[in-house]
Every structure is written in structure tokens, then in C-alpha cells.
Amino acid sequence: MGLAAGLSIILALILAGLGLVALFERHVERHIEAELRTYLLQLADGLVFTADGAPELQRALAHPRFDQPLSGLYWQIEDDATGTRLRSRSLWDFVVALPRTEHDPGTLHRYVLPGPNGTQLLVNERRISYADAEPVRGLRIMTAIDRQDIATLRREFAGDVGLALSLLATVLMLASAVQIAVGLKPLDAVRGHVADIRSGRQQRIAASGPAEVMPLVAEVNSLLDGQEQAIARARAHAADLAHGLKTPLTVLAADADRLRQRGETEIAAEIEELAGTMRRHIGRELSRVRLRERARPGPEPVRLAGIAQSIVRVIQRSPRGGKLAWSVAIPDDLGIAMRAEDLSELLGAVLENASKWAEHEVRVMASPGSFLETSMGAAARLVIEDDGPGISPMEIQQLGRRGVRLDQSIEGTGLGLAIATDIADAYGGAISYSLCEPHGFRVSITFSPMLPE
């Protein structure tokens, strides 16, 4: 915007400067031609005829340039009958060749004709008849000026105008910058309110400002209202779906139990497994719907160390987790902009996955050196490493997809990392996977943004 304003100002002043120079040149030409006509009248008034009929200038013109050779200001008188010429001293030995055309006496004519030393002359010429001469005499009287004089005046004027317009352009661009800064200040305030809404510090834009900005504020608030209504409808539909499937799943479980009592244990186990899988998928979709509503962190950061340590203690009570060595290195003052229950679900899924694959040890780390800068502000990274067998680089690309299980011999549904990915995405974070050396697996979780302490 500032660049466009600056270019517009410069273009407008350039056009104005060109127009001023053109007007100045026209004014100078009119002024000079008025002087040349005055000199014509003075020459005509000062002419007399000698006894032998030759024209003679009785009074010389007062301007000193007429007496200075090649000064650029000239006069010339030419007798039509005899061809006699009178010239100013400034013409020296040069004769201005006037066009051989017939003109009515007294009519003024303008020409641009060649002058001394290759110059171009602006010529004013008038034919005058003297009735008191015997016989009647017709003289062509000419005054002229070097057009280079006009060009010099134009160039000097253009330099002065250019300097003045440059100063004016500087002042106008500074004023434009101030105006843009003041004009965009309300929009900057709106941007800050939108950032607060995204981070959960407020629910609506409560800014008051110029009348031009308030329609935008109203539209954003209306959009937020519509979004909340859409989320509420989605939650209602998901709840209706879950309620509608609850009864059929209960019937399937009862049928599986009856089949088991009849000795059909294989079919009963298959039905129970399918029913359990359906329940988990429904639970995951309901969790995603809740995330759309809740993924607005509260004003206070959640302590990452406390959440991680509590989950580790729970997993250590399990048969598999109790056999592993756990190390948690997280600063106590590290706060994450996330709801505690969502952070617990995310870390629970990742740490439970690590406990399934680790052979001896699981490490959980987040240090000041793990802090990042993102487009949303400060962020922190949590790294979870295990010393398990790891996976191939091709299999890493499949992790986090819904229902993907890389080893069917390990108990699970393949939803844990997918749920963790959904939670991280809902809060503007990210999860990445890589291999440890010489063996093992690493999960890196970026939390963004991190609320200030």
C-alpha cells in the first residue's frame, strides 16, 4: 500500500512538473514575441528615406544585444524594390533568408528560420508600405531571437521545479506513510483480537473503532458464531450417531455371549472384536468432534512436566511398563497452551506406543535447547525415544494414519498415534517420527504456540 501510494505521488508530480515546464515555455514564448513585436514597431517608427530614396534607421534600438555580434537578438530590414538590406550589428555578416511570399501590409507572420552558426531563430516579420515615399515603398521588417535562449530558460526552470517537486514528494510520502500507519492501526488492533481468539484468550472481537472497520468486526464475529453453531450441530449429529449405534452394538455383544454359551467361541470372538473395533472408532470420532470445540487453550499454560510424569507413573503400573526404565527430563516451568485432558490423551497415546516397542528404556525430554520460533510465536518440542527395534523408513510414512498397525502381533487397534496426530493438529502443533542410532525410535512433538510465563 505504501509503495503504491509513493509511486502514485511520484507519477503525479512528474506529470505536474512536465505540465508546468510546458506552460512556462508557452508563457516565455508569448512574452518574447510581445517584445519582438515591440521592436518591430520601434523599427518601423524610426525608418526614414534619404534624398536618393534609400531607407535609413534614424533611431537605433536601445537593447545592447542588438550591437553585440551573434548575441541571439537580431533585426533586419529588406527593401522589396531595390533589395537593399539593413541589419543589426548582432547579425554580423549573416543574412536571414525570409520566405518569398506575398503578404498583406501590416500583417504579422511568425517563422522558425536558420540563423547564424547553425542556430534556429524565432522570427516575427511584418510588411509595411510607406505611402509618403516616391514611389510607394514596401519594406519587410524582421526581428528574431535565438530559440536556444528559450531552451535555456526552460531548462533552468525545469531544474528549479524538479528540486521543488522532489521536496514536495518527500513531504507527501512522509505524510502518506503517517496516514497509512494511522489508518491501519484499527486493522492491526483487529488482527491482535483475532490472534487472541485463536489462542483462546477471548471468544469474540470486542474492538471499537472507525465506522469503516466495524463492518469487518461484525462479519468476523458473525463467522465465529456460525462456526460455533456448525460445531454444535456436528456434535449433536455425532452424539445421535453414537446413540443410534449403541443399541445395535449391545445386541451384537449379547449375541456373541449367547454364541459362546452354545460353544461357537470362534464366531463369538470375531463378533466381539468387530463390536470393540466399532466402539473404538466411534469413540475416536467423538473425540475429534470434542477437539473442534475445545482446541482453544485457556489463559493459563499447562505444566508439561506434571502431565508427562503422571502418565509415566500410570504406565509403570502395567506389566509391560513396569519392566522398563523411564527417564523424564522436562523443565518444571515449561507451559504448553493446551487443555490438560487433551495433552494427557496425546502423551498417553505416544508413551503407551513407546512402552509396547521399547526393550529396556524410554526417554522423555524437553529442554531449553528444544525451543523453536514459529510463525505463531514461541513453541516447544518434546522428544520421546525408545530403544526398540525401530521400523523401516518406508513404514515411517504410514505412521499416524488411522488403523495402521505395523506389527499385528502387538496388541492394539492402530488408532493411538492417529488420535495423537489429530490432537496435535487441532492445537496447531505437529508430530514427526524418526529413527535413533544405533537402534530405536523417536517421536518429536511440536507444541505451538507456547503461552508466555
Same domain, 283 and 334: no
Per-residue confidence (pLDDT) for residue 144, from 0 to 100: 93
Task: Look at residue 49 and give its three-state secondary structure.
Answer: strand
Average pLDDT over residues 66-92: 87
Check pLDDT > 60 for residue 292: no
C-alpha 128 chain-centroid distance = 71
DSSP-derived pairing of the beta strands 73-79 and 55-57: unpaired
Based on the fold, state whether residues 38 and 141 are members of the same structural domain.
yes
Determine whether 347 is exposed, middle or buried from the number of CB atoms within 10 Å of its CB (0-12, 13-18, 19+). Answer: buried
Considering the domain architecture, whether residues 127 and 111 belong to the same structural domain is answered as yes
* Angstrom distance (rounded) from CA 61 to CA 47: 11
The Cα 449–Cα 335 span in angstroms is 10
pLDDT(369) > 60:
no
Are 13 and 144 part of one and the same domain? yes
Asked whether residue 279 is domain-assigned, the answer is yes
Verify that 321 and 439 share a domain, yes or no. Answer: yes
Question: What is the pLDDT, as a whole number, of residue 405?
Answer: 44
Q: Cβ distance 280 to 414 under 8 Å?
A: no
Q: In angstroms, rounded to a whole number, what is the distance separating the alpha carbons of residues 378 and 325?
A: 32
Domain boundary among 274, 294, 314: 294
Q: Among residues of the chain, what percentage have pLDDT more than 70?
A: 81
Is residue 198 in a domain? no
Q: What is the DSSP letter of 333?
A: T
Long-range contact list for 15-24, CB < 8 A, 24+ apart?
16/165, 17/158, 17/161, 17/162, 17/165, 20/161, 21/154, 21/157, 21/158, 21/161, 24/153, 24/154, 24/157, 24/161
335-364, pLDDT tens digit by residue? 887 888 888 888 988 998 889 889 999 999
Mean pLDDT over residues 388-407, rounded? Answer: 63
Encode pLDDT of 181-194 as tens digits.
887 777 777 777 77
Q: Are residues 306 and 322 in the same domain?
A: yes
User: Is the confidence at residue 312, as pLDDT, over 50?
Assistant: yes
Is residue 197 assigned to a domain? no
Residue 8 pLDDT exceeds 80: yes
Domain end call among 294, 311, 339? 294
Q: What is the spatial distance between Cα 40 and Cα 274, in angstroms, rounded to a whole number?
A: 117
Q: Which residue has the higher pLDDT, 377 or 34?
A: 34
In a domain, residue 391? The reply is yes
Lowest mean pLDDT among 150-159, 213-222, 314-323: 213-222
In a domain, 420, yes or no: yes
Is residue 105 packed enough to be buried (19+ CB in 10 Å), middle (13-18) or exposed (0-12)? exposed
276 and 406 fall within a common domain: no
Sign of the Cα pseudo-torsion (205, 208, 210, 215, in order): positive
Least confident segment among 66-75, 116-125, 257-266: 257-266
Claim: this prediction has a pTM higher than 0.75: no
Domain hosting 398: range is 302-447
Q: What confidence score (pLDDT) does residue 408 get?
A: 41
Weakest-pLDDT range from 177-186, 193-202, 421-430: 193-202
pLDDT category at 451 given cuts 50, 70, 90 is very low
More confident residue, 289 or 41: 41
Pick the last residue of a domain from 294, 328, 355.
294
Q: Would residue 185 count as lying in a domain?
A: no
Among the residue ranges 22-26, 153-157, 173-177, 376-380, the one predicted with the least confidence is 376-380
pLDDT tens for each residue of 95-135 = 998 888 777 777 888 889 999 988 999 999 988 887 665 66
pLDDT of residue 403: 44
Range 155-165 average pLDDT: 91
> Who has greater pLDDT, 281 or 155?
155
The band of 401, judged by pLDDT with boundaries at 50, 70 and 90, is low
Number of domains in the chain: 3
Highest mean pLDDT, choosing among 176-190, 233-247, 400-414: 176-190
251/319 same-domain check: no
Determine the pLDDT at residue 407: 45
Q: Mean pLDDT for the chain?
A: 79
Find out whether 86 and 64 touch, Cβ atoms under 8 Å.
Answer: no
Residue range 49-63: mean pLDDT, rounded: 80
Does residue 419 sit in the same domain as residue 322? yes
In this prediction, residue 203 carries a pLDDT of 74
Give the residue, 38 or 280, on which the prediction is more confident.
38
Residue 157 counted as domain residue:
no
The predicted model gives 148-157 an average pLDDT of 90
Q: Tell me the average pLDDT across 299-307.
A: 78
Calculate the CA dihedral of residues 166, 172, 173, 178 and round it to 10 degrees: 150
Residues 428 and 364 in one domain: yes
Residues 389-393: contacts with CB within 8 Å, 24+ apart? Answer: 389/357, 389/359, 389/439, 390/435, 390/436, 390/439, 390/440, 390/441, 391/435, 391/441, 393/435
**Same domain for 313 and 374?**
yes
What's the whole-number mean pLDDT along residues 82-94?
87
Furthest C-alpha separation in the chain? 159
Alpha-carbon span 236 to 242, nearest angstrom: 10
The total number of residues shown for the chain amounts to 453
pLDDT over 70 (residue 365): yes
CATH code of the domain covering residue 231: 1.10.287
Specify the range with the lowest mean pLDDT, choosing from 6-15, 245-254, 264-273, 366-375: 366-375
Q: How confident is the model at residue 288, as a pLDDT?
A: 63
Same domain as 236, residue 374: no
Instruction: Look at residue 171 and tell me if it is in a domain.
Output: no
- The upper half-sphere exposure of residue 290, i.e. CA atoms within 13 Å in the direction of its Cβ, equals 13
